[in-house]
Structure 1
Amino acid sequence: MEVADYGQRHTDPEEGCPVGHDEVLDYPLPNPTALEPPVEWERLRQGCPVAPIRLPSGDRAVVLTRYADVKQVLADPRFTRRLNAPDAARVADSESGGVFNNDLAAAIPDGGPEHQRWRQLVGKWFTVKRLNSLRPAIEAMADQLVDDMVAQGAPADLKASVGFPLPVWVICELLGVPDSDRDRFSHWSDAMLNLTRYTEDEIRTAQAEFITYMVAHVEAKRAEPRDDLLSALITDGTLSPQALLATGLGLLVAGHETTANMIGKMVGMLLSDRSRWEQLLADPSLVRTAVEESLRFDANPGVGLPRYITEDTEIGGEVVPRGTTVMCSMGAANRDESAFDRAAEMDLTRSPNPHLAFGSGAHSCLGQALARTELQVTLEVLLRRLPDLRLAVEPAELNRVEGLVVGGLRAVPVRW
């Protein structure tokens, strides 16, 4: 089979298949509205599942849009999520590396037994037993946030009032830091998830401020350990100082930014067709499957997960050459009709639901059980407290988060 040359082969926007030498899809692909998927997803799945793209950095890569291909690449331990090889594509045009290229992330082992040991060490804090013990506190915080939102009156921004502060509070609890620092955490996280929003100086400043903060915080925990994840990792003594900082960064970004955005998107999806909300009010036992379907149906998940191909590999019927950077579009894969019946419909009863929102394989999201808990609790509290909740704008008027690696809604205006 012939090896594809992705440096020369481009994509015709009309046909969705590689042609010529002058046309290429800019990535990330645009959405018609914040809750609707890019129109290219279906065309690429059908006719060009391994499609050349141009990243915000200007570098070339390919995007995968079929379920089987995305799952294959994400689950393959040969392929690294770290884009620090000399010929790897840069996702963002940033000398400081961005979230996929920065030097700090290299402190966490990327594969093999060392990576598994790191996952086991950190994963002790995300067990079912520990999350069940944390659930009442998460519910109490969600109730408090709803109280505060109601006291301020409608209309309100549900993302700012509930979606953002809840996961930040949880991650602050895990890291043992005061939630009064959450605004700084938000800025640092945004800057390190940059695609096009921040300047190089702003990114470097944010990284330096985060490292300074975390170094001081780790030393304070070393002097006076408490019942939190960082204290436990310090006491264990296995991780290097750099790995401790990188773990804190990973938890901050994954635990705060992605879940905060997903809460807003989930509520936006459920309220955009109010029959969905009414279905949950009639049968609250559907909360668990509704959360999973919201994760699958997310049309605005961000750029996806990159993988650096370390050897010539057959993907989607083509041989992708070593040195190619692949963007795995979990959002597109989760709409693949070959993997999900009625994939274009949001079915709150769908089960089983083997979506790829949290990745697959050895690098699947370590905190996915925590994210599920936060999403379920938030939805349960909103259904119980605000059964008349509805969007305060038309669904098409919701605006996307722009310029970051992650997708989301800028605001979720609601009334009740």
Structure 2
Amino acid sequence: MTETLYPELPTTRSSPLDPPAELGVLRETEPISRLAFPDGTLGWLVTSHALAREVLADNRFSNRAELQHSPIRAGGKPIPQQPPAKPGMFINMDGQEHAKYRRLLTGQFTVRRMNQLIPRIEAIVRDHLADVRAQGPGVDLVEAFALPVPSMVICELLGVSYEERESFQRNTKALFHPDQGVSPRSGRPSSGSRTFVADLVRRKHDEPGDDMLTGLIQTGELTDEEVANMGLLLLVAGHETTANMLGIGTLTLLGHPEQLAALKADPSLIDNTVEELMRYLSIVQFGASRVALEDVELGGVTVKAGEPVSISVMAANRDPAKFDRPEEFDIHRPATGHVAFGHGVHQCLGQQLARIEMRVGFNALFREFPDLRLAVPASEVPMRDDMAIYGVHKLPVTFS
């Protein structure tokens, strides 16, 4: 295979819901290609589904924060390398260190807790849809529904008291304001969010509850700093992704009326719909990053130790070698096998909760507002083109 140097990660989309066309060309011609990273490092770009899964499942590729090189710029400048992950921020750790934190948090994502959350999620969704109706036609569905619903679900997980939820909402809104640009990859929670969660952890010692923070404290294996950082990780990774899926997922369904009609006629299609939305949209738009810890043969090339690899989730989830007619949005397709939640040991721990929120949210939204439609032309919906997590900044809608 040739090693043509690609000068930068393609980021200009073909259309609001489609990946950059260059990614598809690379996937067909050079599924692992040389990529020049903005900081001057030479690395690799992976665009095929098979190679994406191979890298994500191989522990010879590291996810440690201090080793990563960002494939994108911020304000026209390279993003500097980050310090090692703080205690508890296990997403950017490897090996036993990662496994310890993940094991403890996995123990909190029990089937019992997820089942207990379903009625609460249904109530949260119902309350916010009532707010949507009260605000009337022209309401911004992002502000009134897509952002607050995951925030309230996180409140349930972390055990935030009802009296504190308004304060929590304010901190969350500031955390995910467009100017912040926070994402699970770059996640830098605001000082207000850090202080709020740290105070909450301290209070859980005296006021324990049936929540994740209490459960983590009671393992006896973690410091308060570690518990607080794991709570922040849940907030960052569990909120922005789901919130943006609710927003851009609604835009996608409204833009495919025949698919939406099928879902309305048969709500049991919701499971397939959620998986297809995850595959089709792939909102982690700048991909996943790994760094080779040793020389690795991959797709006919040698990735040398220390070289970064950028994995295009968008390209992998549109790979015709894996998915039939991948450019089409089709809720009838069995969309299993996508890598929207990652793959391997770092696969998203909260993916089942995210699925529940989307299933409940989309079904309830279109049941409550069967004639929901955009209040502006689709071309006027502002997209999150420059954000690590793709979506819509606003979604004005109308209804009878």
**TM-score, L = length of structure 2:** 0.88
Whether the aligned pair in 1 keeps the contact of 2:5 and 2:36 (CA below 8 Å) is no
Indicate the residue corresponding to 2:172 in structure 1: 185
Could you tell me which residue of structure 2 aligns to residue 65 of structure 1? 47
User: What does the per-residue CA deviation read over 1:195-242, in whole Å, with 9 as the maximum and x for residues that have no partner?
Assistant: 9xx9xxxx98x5444433332222111232222111111122212333
State the SS of the aligned residue for 2:321: coil
Tell me which of the two structures has the higher relative contact order, counting C-alpha pairs closer than 8 angstroms and 6 or more residues apart.
Answer: 1
1:316 aligns with 2:299: yes
Q: CA deviation at 1:342?
A: 1.1
Q: Could you tell me whether the CA contact under 8 Å between 1:35 and 1:300 is conserved in 2?
A: no
User: Aligned-pair distance for 1:119?
Assistant: 2.0
Q: Which of 304, 307, 324 is the aligned partner of 1:341?
A: 324
1:101 maps to 2:82? yes
Is residue 133 from structure 1 mapped to residue 116 from structure 2 by the alignment? yes
Please say which of residues 123-132 and 406-415 is displaced more in the overlay: 123-132
Query: Secondary structure, in 3 states, of the residue corresponding to 1:223?
Result: coil
1:228 corresponds in structure 2 to 211
Contact 1:57 1:92 in 2 (8 A): no
- How far the C-alpha of 1:82 sits from its partner, in A, is 1.9
Identify the residue that residue 21 of structure 2 maps to in structure 1. Answer: 39
Task: Give 2:62's aligned amino acid.
Answer: T
Name the amino acid aligned to 1:151: A
Q: Give 1:283 deviation, angstroms.
A: 1.2
Which stretch has the larger CA shift, 255-264 or 322-331? 322-331
Which amino acid in the other structure matches residue 45 of structure 2? V
Q: What amino acid sits opposite 1:184 in the alignment? A: N
Identity of matched residues, %: 36
Residue 368 of structure 2 corresponds to residue 385 of structure 1: yes
2:18 and 2:390 map into 1 onto residues whose CA distance is 12
Which of the numbers 239, 243, 250 marks the counterpart of 1:260?
243
CA distance in 1 between counterparts of 2:20 and 2:261 reads 28
Distance 1:284 1:123 in 2: 30
Match among 51, 63, 66 for residue 81 of structure 1 = 63
> Which whole-Å CA distance do the structure 1 matches of 2:107 and 2:325 have between them?
37
Equivalent residue of 1:51, what SS? strand
Question: In the alignment, what sits opposite 2:130?
Answer: 147
SS in 2 for 1:125: coil
2:230 equivalent in structure 1: 247
CA offsets, 1:341-364, max 9 Å, x none? 111111111125211110011110
- Counterpart of 2:363, as a letter, is E
SS at match of 1:126: coil
TM-score, structure 1 normalization: 0.85
2:285 aligned with 1:298, yes or no?
no
2:15 corresponds to 1:10: no
- Tell me, what secondary structure is at the counterpart of 1:62? strand
Paired residues of 1:55 and 1:90 also in contact (CA < 8 A) = yes
Q: Does 1:360 align with 2:343?
A: yes
Amino acid at match of 2:11: L
Q: Is the 8 A contact 1:301 1:408 kept in 2?
A: no
Contact kept in structure 2, 1:98 and 1:192, CA below 8 Å: no
CA contact (8 A) 2:263 2:270 kept: yes
Relative distance call for 1:220 and 1:138 in structure 2 (3 A) is same
Larger mean Cα displacement after TM superposition, 382-391 or 177-186: 177-186
Query: How far apart are 1:279 and its partner, in Å?
Result: 1.1
The CA distance in 2 between the partners of 1:250 and 1:374, in whole Å, is: 18
Which of 381, 387, 404 in structure 1 is aligned with 2:387? 404
8 Å contact kept, 1:28–1:303: no
For these two proteins, the number of residue pairs brought into alignment is 387
Q: 1:340 to 1:310 in 2, by over 3 A?
A: same
In 1, Cα distance between the equivalents of 2:36 and 2:341? 24
User: For residues 351 and 118 of structure 1, do their structure 2 counterparts lie closer, same or farther at Cα, with a shift above 3 Å needed?
Assistant: same
